[in-house]
Amino acid sequence: MILRIDTEAALVEVEDLHGTRSLPFSNPEAFALVSKAWLRVGWDVKYVYRFTWLGRPIIQLPEDIVRLQEIVYRTQPDVIVETGVAHGGSLVLYASVCEAMGHGKVVGVDIEIRPHNREAIESHPLFPRITLIEGSSTDEDTFARVRKVIGNAERVLVVLDSNHAKEHVLAELRLYSSLVSVGSYIAVEDGIMPEFAGAPRSAPDWNWNNPRSAVEEFLAERDDFVIEIPVPVFNEGAADADITYSPGGWLRRVR
């Protein structure tokens, strides 16, 4: 597919196997096509690595940041568990929403929490709402430590954002889905990987070795989770494309 953007005429020209057609900027399809190209361009220039949340780097797209905070607010979890800590920005995001709600705590799990990141997270004003657990997310001992922190919490939300290899994510899904309460979510990050196969910093096996493939296999085994991307409560616009790095990765527990 070839896209040509005419800013003077406010048109997107699309050339594909079906021929050539022109879409006005006001057409939601034009927005979706340009946004898909923008996601790939953003990946190539590492756009996602330029944001912080309350002082900590958060490697998330702006729309995904908004979606994550909205999930926390809607589900009102007692505990949020995230695998993959990195710089701690996402943990601080969840903790800030919990602080605003006056309720909730956050558990961050990572196979290695680098000393400078640990120091920055532990010195953050919101650290009283955060617990850090170092260890492989799929290790039984690590999982037992997570369960101990959760205790008798009734509402649990899970975000998977560690190793994105299919088998690892599938193991996480099978393990951490047991923590998710009915009506809450397990969010699987970076399902966009197949669309970036061949791009800089990608791998040849991304077409199949990715979180989306893990989600598909997990859902084939279960009937208590469904894909349900959180839609905005407020939307007076015509755009209906989701600008996300996690397509198909928002799983809500239905029973």
Convert 146-169 to b/e letters by CB count within 10 Å (16 or more is b): beeebeebebbbbbbbbbbbbebb
pTM, rounded to two decimals: 0.95
Average pLDDT estimate for 251-255: 97
Range of the domain at 18: 2-44
Residues 38 and 62 in one domain: no
Instruction: Supply 69's token pair.
Output: 């905070």
Residues 234 and 121 in one domain: yes
Burial category of 229 from C-beta neighbours within 10 Å (exposed 0-12, middle 13-18, buried 19 and up) = middle
Residues 172 and 225 in one domain: yes
Residues 120 and 219 in one domain: yes
Does the pLDDT of residue 2 top 80, yes or no? yes
Lookup result for tokens 């898909």: 36
Residues 134 and 154 in one domain: yes
- Tell me, what CATH number does 121's domain have? 3.40.50.150
Residues 34 and 73 in one domain: no
pLDDT tens, residue by residue, 80-112: 999 999 999 999 999 999 999 999 999 999 999
Q: What is the C-alpha separation between 90 and 94, in angstroms, rounded?
A: 6
Residues 57 and 29 in one domain: no
pLDDT tens, residue by residue, 206-215: 999 999 999 9
Does the pLDDT of residue 232 top 80, yes or no? no
The fraction of the chain above a pLDDT of 90, given in percent, is: 96
Q: Which pLDDT band holds residue 233 (cuts at 50, 70, 90)?
A: confident
Instruction: Supply 234's token pair.
Output: 């407020």
Residues 9 and 105 in one domain: no
Position 165 scores a pLDDT of 98
pLDDT tens, residue by residue, 19-54: 999 999 999 999 999 999 999 999 999 999 999 999
Question: Strand 11-16 vs strand 2-6: parallel, antiparallel, or unpaired?
Answer: antiparallel
Residues 11 and 34 in one domain: yes
Residues 135 and 183 in one domain: yes
Q: What is the C-alpha separation between 174 and 162, in angstroms, rounded?
A: 15
Average pLDDT estimate for 178-191: 98
Structural domain count of the chain: 2
Residues 138 and 229 in one domain: yes
Return all residues near 117 (Cβ < 8 A) that are at least 6 apart. Answer: 85, 86, 87, 88
Q: What is the C-alpha separation between 58 and 56, in angstroms, rounded?
A: 6
| Contact in structure between 126 and 90 (CB atoms under 8 Å) | no
The fraction of the chain above a pLDDT of 70, given in percent, is: 100
Residues 25 and 79 in one domain: no
Q: What is the C-alpha separation between 93 and 67, in angstroms, rounded?
A: 11
Position 25 scores a pLDDT of 98
Q: Which pLDDT band holds residue 74 (cuts at 50, 70, 90)?
A: very high
Position 210 scores a pLDDT of 98
Position 235 scores a pLDDT of 87
